[in-house]
């Protein structure tokens, strides 16, 4: 039984750690955004600029620990590392769940969103399994006994895991789990489909009898059923409480609103354009790659002259800052504004480029892989 429990614990924990690390390594920038939420909660926002580096480190560590556990290498050190890591994660997920400070832990990135309590439950199970591993660490035997080969394999695992994170960070995620992925039609993801049920909420009222001073609490259904509202002596006081009792259809894109500097809504006009249009996403102009923006500006000029392609720049910067940036870099594209949260989801790059047509994401690029004008013209515009 001990042997079975140890073997099961090793296999389950090792595979889960590798899977978790790979999913997050697929989108280290997104995991970095999640870490920034935790930094805000614990008042260590000075780490914001290092969030992505820390994210890559955690992803790499998870993959390495999972792989070494399966291989049986350095059992005592690996068991201790896993224990320290899971204790930290368990505290973090419990804190998030109990105090309701972070709505999703990001344990499996955007691929498998978990609620805080689901994340905490998962970590409790892992904690039990890792304790089994830790207390039986001396029973773990390596699959390969040669110290030299072990070191070579560890180096290979390190290079592959770290290299994968760096590749996806410097280009784009291999698998895109966000609503703005290639092939998605954005307008359809912004509205409720026919027949879909919305969220159902229960509203609780505080009532007070003006004649007797009696108070009572009542739900909206009870309020209507008893028809207490007909009695003029009863009045609602204080704040109403709203509680979600049934989750309805989840609109995938609910926070995208694109405006000009005056606040006029251009969302539908831009994303429902029936023709090809280029959308440059640079949510933070202070930290954007200026050379890449200039390259995109040259592409925009040619695209407009040859094919009348519209190019817009979306940013969360202030209107004054954006106008100054446009003036300094002689930008020809129109500038519009949106919240940084949806902009970060559109393209995991600053800047990034999206090609839209009739609301559908045709393709998108990181600034490290921006296509030149000829590639866009031959591959898309000339075929329109």
pLDDT in tens, 78-108: 999 999 999 998 998 888 888 877 777 677 7
Which portions of the chain are predicted below pLDDT 50?
A: none
Counts for the chain of helices (H) and strands (E), in that order: 13, 8
What span, in angstroms and rounded, lies between the C-alpha atoms of 15 and 252?
Answer: 30
Task: Please provide residue 363's backbone torsions phi and psi, each rounded to the nearest 5 degrees.
Answer: -165, 165
Going across the sheet that includes 234-246, the strands are 215-219, 200-209, 234-246
222: left (phi over 0), alpha (psi -120 to 50) or beta: alpha
- Cis check: omega of the bond before 351, within 30 degrees of 0: yes
What span, in angstroms and rounded, lies between the C-alpha atoms of 138 and 79?
Answer: 10
- Residues 6 or more apart whose CB falls under 8 angstroms from that of 201 comprise 242, 243, 244, 245
Task: Please provide residue 204's backbone torsions phi and psi, each rounded to the nearest 5 degrees.
Answer: -110, 130
What span, in angstroms and rounded, lies between the C-alpha atoms of 347 and 367?
Answer: 10
Nearest to 355 by CA among 376, 332, 329: 376
Q: What is the pLDDT of residue 384?
A: 61
Produce one character per residue of 20-49: b if its CB has 16 or more CB atoms within 10 Å, e if not. bbbbbbbbbbbbbbbbbbbbeeeeeeeeee
- Mean pLDDT value across the chain: 92
User: For the whole model, what pTM was predicted?
Assistant: 0.86
What span, in angstroms and rounded, lies between the C-alpha atoms of 73 and 63?
Answer: 14
Which sign does the torsion angle of CA 230, 234, 235, 240 carry? negative
Residue in the structure block whose two tokens are 């099961």: 8
Q: Mind listing the domains of the chain with CATH numbers?
A: 2-170 (no CATH), 200-246 (no CATH), 267-383 (3.40.30.10)
């Amino acid at each position: 039984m001990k042997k079975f429990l140890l073997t099961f614990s090793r296999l389950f924990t090792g595979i889960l750690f590798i899977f978790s690390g790979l999913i997050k390594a697929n989108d280290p920038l997104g995991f970095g955004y999640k870490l920034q939420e935790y930094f805000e909660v614990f008042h260590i926002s000075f780490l914001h600029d290092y969030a992505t580096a820390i994210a890559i480190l955690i992803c790499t560590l998870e993959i390495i620990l999972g792989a070494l556990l399966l291989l049986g290498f350095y059992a005592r050190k690996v068991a201790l590392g896993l224990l320290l890591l899971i204790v930290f994660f368990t505290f973090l997920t419990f804190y998030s769940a109990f105090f309701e400070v972070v709505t999703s832990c990001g344990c499996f990135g955007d691929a498998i969103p978990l609620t805080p309590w689901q994340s905490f439950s998962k970590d409790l199970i892992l904690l039990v399994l890792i304790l089994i591993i830790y207390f039986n660490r001396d029973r773990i035997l390596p699959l390969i006994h040669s110290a030299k080969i072990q070191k070579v394999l560890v180096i290979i695992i390190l290079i592959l895991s770290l290299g994968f994170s760096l590749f996806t960070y410097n280009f784009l995620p291999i698998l895109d789990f966000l609503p703005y992925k290639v092939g998605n039609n954005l307008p359809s993801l912004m509205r409720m489909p026919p027949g879909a049920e919305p969220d159902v909420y229960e509203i609780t009222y505080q009532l007070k009898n003006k004649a007797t001073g009696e108070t009572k609490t009542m739900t909206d259904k009870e309020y209507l059923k008893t028809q207490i509202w007909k009695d003029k002596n009863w009045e609602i006081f204080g704040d109403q409480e709203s509680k979600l009792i049934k989750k309805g259809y989840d609109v995938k894109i609910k926070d995208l609103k694109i405006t000009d500097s005056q606040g006029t809504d251009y969302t539908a006009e831009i994303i429902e354009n029936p023709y090809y249009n280029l959308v440059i996403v640079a949510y933070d102009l202070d930290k954007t790659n200026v050379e890449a923006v200039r390259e995109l500006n040259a592409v925009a000029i040619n695209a407009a002259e040859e094919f009348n392609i519209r190019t817009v720049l979306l940013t969360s910067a202030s209107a004054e800052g954006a106008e100054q940036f446009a003036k300094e870099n002689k930008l020809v594209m129109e500038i519009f504004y949106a919240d940084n949260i949806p902009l970060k989801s559109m393209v995991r790059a600053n800047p990034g480029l999206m090609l839209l047509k009739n609301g559908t994401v045709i393709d998108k690029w990181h600034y490290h892989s921006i296509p030149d004008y000829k590639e866009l013209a031959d591959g898309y515009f000339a075929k329109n």
